[in-house]
Amino acid sequence: MHTTKNYHWRIAGFYFFYYAFVGMFAPYWSLYLKSIHFNAIDIAILMSVSPVMRMIAPNIWGWLADHTGERRRVVQIAAALSAVFYLGVFKATSFWEMFLVLGLMNFFWSASMPLVEATTLSYLGKHTARYGRIRSWGSIGFIVSVVGLGYAFDYIAIAWLLWAGLVCEIGILIFSRQIPPTEVLAHHTDTQPIRQIVLQPRVLALFGACFLMAVAHGPYYTFYSIYLVEHGYAKSAVGGLWALGVTCEIGVFFLMPWLARRFGYTRILLASFSCTILRFMLIGWGVDFLLLLLIAQMLHAVTFGAYHASSVGLVHEFFQGRHQSKGQAMFGSLTYGAGGIVGGLASGPIWQHYGASVLYSCSAGAALLGLLLMWWKLGMANTNSSLR
């Protein structure tokens, strides 16, 4: 097998363009939908198409990758078909046209990342704590996208967003052909059905808590940009606030090897949930105070960066051998996927009838429930255990 150094830039390139697409989509797609006259309920539904597909598609693709042993080939096929179906956004103007196009595109786009996560962690072998340093290139891609587009949209029409997405799709397609082949090592759990692993109390607690974390973030990804623009912030400022959060996230990714050794994944996750409660209360009630928004965005380092690296690391430890791809896919489906659906769909009616302050208070409440679940099943029993 090639050395880790040989493939760092190839894996990093895939992360860069994949999350550059997220940096295009998450902050600005709702603004684009609003510009073509969709209402809040329509926007909430259309922005929830992506997490719906993240719940359904990765399980299908993860099973196919583990069953065939062709993880890299599956990523390449998914990337190609995602790019093809993305072209439909240039023609879609009605609700059902946009719904269909986003559904097809996301069915293939969402398939790639869990498989690439499994590939990266398998490739790093015993050095999985270094995952954050490779994943940080995804954060850099997000920043380039969100800041560049934020400034651009102060001068050009939001419709140019569609072309930015196409560039990202082409980059994903190119680098999908560069990721390394990895060997799936035999493990004693290979003969166990995957449900036997999933039904372990510690795994159920992790999945349940991370589902609630995704619910908490649903309103953030659906309405945060609209929220800021409606309170008088320029689109460049919106992009800057998104980028600030991800810049802090990059710093945490580089610190993760030390943090994981010093505190362990469980303690890091408990801190992440605690900071999420504070962050969404600041967003919900401090939008008119730039300093509070800056603090809230800096907390993204913990509420996403440390959270994501730790949760993915635990999933990699729980699901070994031939269950790796399915484990990462199931984690993405049941947390980012299902949680994103609930959070995104609920955000529309709450936003419309009760306002943003109540909406983001609900986000804080979901994070609180996740914290209690983590502490109940993982924190008290395993803070200093081998879950690190």
Look at residue 1 in the predicted model and tell me its pLDDT. Answer: 41
The answer on pLDDT for 108 being more than 90 is yes
Residue 261 structure tokens: 């050794």
For residue 386, what pLDDT band results from cuts at 50, 70 and 90?
very low
Distance CA 118, CA 327 (A): 9
pLDDT at 26: 83
* Residues in Cβ contact with 101 at an 8 Å cutoff, skipping those fewer than 6 apart: 85, 86, 88, 89, 92
Q: What is d(CA 381, CA 373) in angstroms, rounded to the nearest whole number?
A: 12
Q: Which pLDDT score is estimated for 2?
A: 43
CA 274 to CA 254: how far, in whole Å?
Answer: 21
Let me know: does 118 contact 312? Beta carbons within 8 Å.
no
**Tokens standing for residue 60:** 């299908």
Instruction: Pick the range with the lowest mean pLDDT from 78-92, 109-123, 243-257, 288-302.
Output: 109-123
Percentage with pLDDT > 90 across the chain? 52
Q: What is the pLDDT of residue 341?
A: 86
| Amino acid in position 230 | E
Q: Which residue has the higher pLDDT, 332 or 173?
A: 173
Give the pLDDT band (50/70/90) at residue 384.
very low
Average pLDDT on 52-70 reads 82
pTM to 2 decimals?
0.77
Task: Name the pLDDT band for 298 (thresholds 50, 70, 90).
Answer: very high
Return d(Cα 38, Cα 34) in angstroms, integer: 5
Q: How far apart are CA 234 and CA 94, in angstroms?
A: 28
Region of poorest pLDDT, from 110-119, 202-211, 319-328: 319-328
What pLDDT is stored for residue 129 in this prediction? 67
Helices 356-374, 338-354: axis angle to 10 degrees equals 150
Task: Give the single-character DSSP code of 181.
Answer: P
The hierarchical CATH code for the domain 4-382 is 1.20.1250.20
Rounded CA separation 370/388 (Å): 19
Residue 183's pLDDT band (cuts 50, 70, 90): low
Give the mean model confidence (pLDDT) for residues 347-357. Answer: 92
Residues contacting residue 167 through CB under 8 Å, at least 6 positions apart: none
Cα(164)–Cα(154) distance, rounded to whole angstroms? 15
Sign of the alpha-carbon torsion through 318, 323, 324, 326: negative
In the predicted structure, residue 81 carries a pLDDT above the cut 90 = yes
- Mean pLDDT score across all residues of the chain: 87
Domain ranges for the chain = 4-382
Per-residue pLDDT averaged across 31-47, rounded? 90
Give 238-290 pLDDT, tens digit per residue: 988 988 998 998 999 989 989 998 998 999 999 999 999 999 999 999 999 99
Instruction: Decide: helix, strand or coil at residue 163.
Output: helix
pLDDT digits (tens, 9 = 90+) for 43-58: 989 988 888 888 888 8
